[in-house]
Structure 1
Amino acid sequence: MRPLRLDSLEIFEDVVRCGGFRAAALGRGVSSSAISQSISVLEEALGIRLLNRTTRSVAPTEAGERLLERLGPALHDIRTAIDDLNQLRERPSGTVRINAPGPAADHVLCPLTFEFMKSYPDVNVEIVSDAAIIDIVEQGFDAGVRFGNQLAQDMIAMPLGPALRYAIVASPDYLLKRGRPESPRDLLQHDCIRRRFPGGTMETWTFEKDGNEVEITPKGRLTLSSAHHELQAAMAGSGIAHLFEDYVRDDLEQGRVVELLSDWKKKLPSWYLYYPSRRHTSAAMRAFLEYIRHREWRPVSN
């Protein structure tokens, strides 16, 4: 068997994680043909095909899946050994990769990261906006962001901001035509902008007032999967939207949308940054965690 290069194994991992040669090439700043050549050399050296290639997709073969299963932890250990040298540097360096839903990235994670990077100029940060529940270790992330009640037991978690609340909003034009709902159940007579999660389930809306909790399954002609698009739809008069307060604060102040049922708000868990408890964290990740620990979060006003 021909000698194997460590970078060819890293390239193989990148291709599988990114879902193709082009995406892996963009991440590495090289050409797709260079990535393809590296994989071909690796397969020739091992004497077995690792990837099934079509014109539209790339997927690991059974052999590729077995290699990847063992390769991920091994490559992580190698990167960690190299990263430990950062402790001898005056300033941490490296890359932090975080997976987070769009609203969390928009209103909490990105502003926090921008300030962090000013203090740590040698640290690179990659944020992938994704609402799907994934295995962050398997997908090569250092951390993820989710609600507190969505975290696996083998994860360490820390609050990433104050408690959250949803706001029910609609445009002035919609309310002029359809009237205002006076209770959560009145929403069932309105066009609500529904959300379908990546797993296929539909979002339910939960309300609370004076210790009474009401949950409804909204009805409506429009179904979306993005808070950004839901806000656009609400402002266009397409229906009533159910969005985080942070997401609609500016539009409420400008009068582009109107808040409804404000006395029925239910307080939710905050966003949490979570990371594996059994995995050695890099110097860059440790710096990021330390930065978060020293933040003071503004509480939600009543």
Structure 2
Amino acid sequence: MHRAALLLALLATPAAAFAQAPAGEHEIQVVNRTGQDAVALHAVRDGRANWGQNTLPRPMPTGKAFTLRTRAQAGCRFDIRMVMADRREAVLRDRDICAQPRVVVEASDLRAAPSQPAPGTPNPRARISSGTGFVVGTDRVLTNQHVVGGCDRIFVRTADGRMLPAVPPAKVDAALDLALLAVPGNPGEVLPFRRAPEVRRGEGVIAYGFPLPGLLSSDPKLTRGEVNGLAGLGNNASHYQISAEVQPGNSGGPLLDLHGHVVGVVVSKLHAQNIAKRIGDIPQNVNFAVKGDAAQAFLQRAGLAPQAEASRGEEMSAADAGEIANRGTVFIRCER
């Protein structure tokens, strides 16, 4: 999920011996012997699903070489890809750049480029992570920043099964771990925030989202719990502590009261194993959500006026609150 940092050292030069890389770096020299210009060159850690950025600042003629450096922490195993002017490409997998730092690309290595997904459609070959989001305005979806950070492309799956691409850039608040996505095409109904009264300890809440994708079924899941505390880990005043169970994939989903109004954004759970190592006991069901007030303030800073309603009168069932949540909650697909 992390890109190997590539440090450009020498532009297109005649294929020849090259200087030793500085300590802490590996050096790769890629030679073009294909008979035509190369327009793109990629070098990434072996097995990565995405090729990252093109390292060539200009086309590289045949008979020339390009030298780049990688940090030693990235290891020795790299995949190399060279794209030619006629769109054919050479892909050389699992090259040990420590043992053989000079990579020669021959005409016999060239193949037709694989077909690409149509614009605006998911790439089945991409590396995928996922999370949850919910609609907070016309064509606007709120989620966690960590759900969408580092994504090359983002898609949301709506309650009626449509897959819509998000339009970058997202507006983010890293401190709150929130991100606002622009998703044209009507991703769902707007979920209103709770305007009043103040949230109290012991209030019933539901978390709604898509936990453990690929393991559990693809439909959204509802878990019920309570607001346990009015501050988060380390007295974080922007968080609630909640007992509604959450799992990986719930991040960014709505936390609703039993009037169907958003009181928070699910953000994290306490890592039970790490805490057990520190205190000798396993914490039970300790989870956190960004407070609705903090989320609304972020949306206002991002130029969006969130809808808000008072939670008055008789509470509804968790099932009925879940029906409301379902109309505005989306699955988020991050491609890298």
TM range (shorter): under 0.3
Q: Which structure shows the higher helix fraction?
A: 1
Compare relative contact order (CA 8 Å, sep 6+) and give the higher one, 1 or 2.
Answer: 1
TM-score, structure 1 normalization: 0.26
- Larger strand fraction of residues: 2
* Max Rg structure: 2
TM score, norm. by length of structure 2: 0.24
